[in-house]
Amino acid sequence: MKITGLTLHPIAIADPPLRSSYGLHAPFALRTIVELKTDDGVTGISETYGGETQVNALEAARERVIGMDPFQLAGLYEALTNVKATGDRSQTYMVPGENPLDLPNRTFAAIEIACLDLIGKAVGKPVCDVIGGRVRDAVSFSAYLFYKHAGGGGFSGDAYGDEYGEILDPAACVRSCKQMIDFYGFKEIKLKGGVLDPDIEIESIKALRREFGPKVPLRIDPNCAWSVDTSVHVGESLAEELSDGGYLEDPCADLEGMGEVRKRLLAKGINTDFGSNVAVTSFPDVPKAKQLDAVQVVLSDPHYWGGMRQVQYLSHMCGVLGMGLSMHSNSHLGVSMMAMTHVAATCPNLTYACDTHYPWQTAKDEVIVGGRVKFVNGTVPIPDKPGLGVELDYDQVARGRERYDKIPYRKRDDEAEMRKHVDPNWKRVLPRW
């Protein structure tokens, strides 16, 4: 089998005005759909980050990809990712998908996942079984709550309905969470923090605990907006709420900072686990995080860790080091949803409900045949179909492309969006509190 075609579909999908310590989400998020065709007529697909840099990097890989045997992924990994680069791989100062240092990994991942989809289709097996077999038939996801302004995304002429309304206080957090849980059946909750005063965010978590009780694990993730002292204050205030399967995610910048917070909390008898997808983004970070006791749960993500097999290696590494594994997400559609689900199904120690932004996207923009991926009691079951189990709806892809062509920006810039829509003088400062 040989790859004979690579088609890139840059698309834009409506995204509500979600807030995080990075700033504000733009009215449309950018994604790229990758499509590979083989000489025997099989097609494989994947979805990755969007915008010019990502599309150009995939375009640059074309020559290496066309003509290759899709089974020969180790050689492609070496060819695309073995580049000498030094610098900060973390997501401390750059939003996911915009750090040039993980661009090679993102690019490989997009090709790898499309290859695995087409291999699965060629041999008649789901991707999770192609990459070694599943340890579960359905993958749990969490209710991923955001503070947000009113609005459902899109531009004025093409404004989308606002499913969740404005969420800027603890009561609205609880209301939106109930709405999400009623619809999707999620059993764990994550709150994106780093937006309001930490004491208000503490109150949001306490209100969620009061509403949903101790059987629903809680996490809060301010994307390193807090100082070490503030992180200790939040850790102390939420000692009970973040226990029992919850965690405190990237409270402050750097592994050294998180290690210090952990030490100070342990000294007070508080054993809250720390998660990370900001400080821990590549393999060398993992033993360092262990050594500093800074992170107990690593958030994987096939999109920037270098694909599904790298996530499996990460799972193994975390297992060896006695660390837990969870999964990170950014704004995405159904193809990414299924890639995340397939790889999560193969990682035995991925015992936390994975993050997903999926509830924030809408059916109007979905690019898979049959519409949005269906959740069953907060899980996505592995479909009894070959490959990722989904096909592209080309009319929907074309609509996504039209939206992409209409919008003026080609990268994610939450700081600029914040200045445009909320505060003309806004700057991301770390720590903010």
Binding site for ligand GKR (CB under 6 A): 18, 20, 22, 95-96, 192, 221, 223, 277, 328-330, 355
How large is the angle between the packed helices 198-212 and 170-184, nearest 10 degrees?
40
User: Would you state the structure tokens that stand for residue 270, as one six-digit string?
Assistant: 């508080």
Give residues 54-113 in contact with Mg ion (rule: CB under 5 A). Answer: none
Whichever of 125 and 411 has its CB closer to ligand GKR, that residue is: 411
Q: Is 316 a catalytic residue?
A: no
Burial class (CB in 10 A: 0-12, 13-18, 19+), 421: middle
Whichever of 70 and 222 has its CB closer to ligand GKR, that residue is: 222
Whichever of 3 and 297 has its CB closer to Mg ion, that residue is: 297
Q: Which residue has the tokens 């109007």?
A: 364
3-state SS, residue 37 = strand
Is residue 23 within 8 Å of 420, Cβ to Cβ? no
DSSP symbols for 268-279: TT----EEESSS
Q: Residue 330: name its binding partner from Mg ion, ligand GKR, none (Cβ under 5 to 8 Å by kind).
A: ligand GKR
Residues for the chain: how many in total? 433
Q: How far is CA 411 from CA 47, 131, 358, 382, 429, in A?
A: 16, 32, 20, 32, 21
277 binds Mg ion (CB under 5 A): yes
Burial class (CB in 10 A: 0-12, 13-18, 19+), 167: buried
CB of 360 to ligand GKR, least distance (A): 9
Whichever of 220 and 382 has its CB closer to ligand GKR, that residue is: 220
221 binds Mg ion (CB under 5 A): yes
CB of 352 to ligand GKR, least distance (A): 12
Whichever of 97 and 386 has its CB closer to ligand GKR, that residue is: 97
Instruction: Tell me the β-bridge partners of 23.
Output: 20
Q: Residue 16: name its binding partner from ligand GKR, Mg ion, none (Cβ under 5 to 8 Å by kind).
A: none
Selecting among 25, 148, 187, 192, the annotated active-site residue is 192
21 binds Mg ion (CB under 5 A): no
Residue 380, phi-psi category: left (phi > 0), alpha (psi -120 to 50), beta (remainder): beta
Q: Residue 192: name its binding partner from ligand GKR, Mg ion, none (Cβ under 5 to 8 Å by kind).
A: ligand GKR
Selecting among 148, 290, 303, 328, the annotated active-site residue is 328
CB of 17 to ligand GKR, least distance (A): 11
Q: Is 268 a catalytic residue?
A: no
Contacts with Mg ion by CB under 5 A lie at 221, 249, 277
Q: Which residues are catalytic, by number?
A: 192, 328
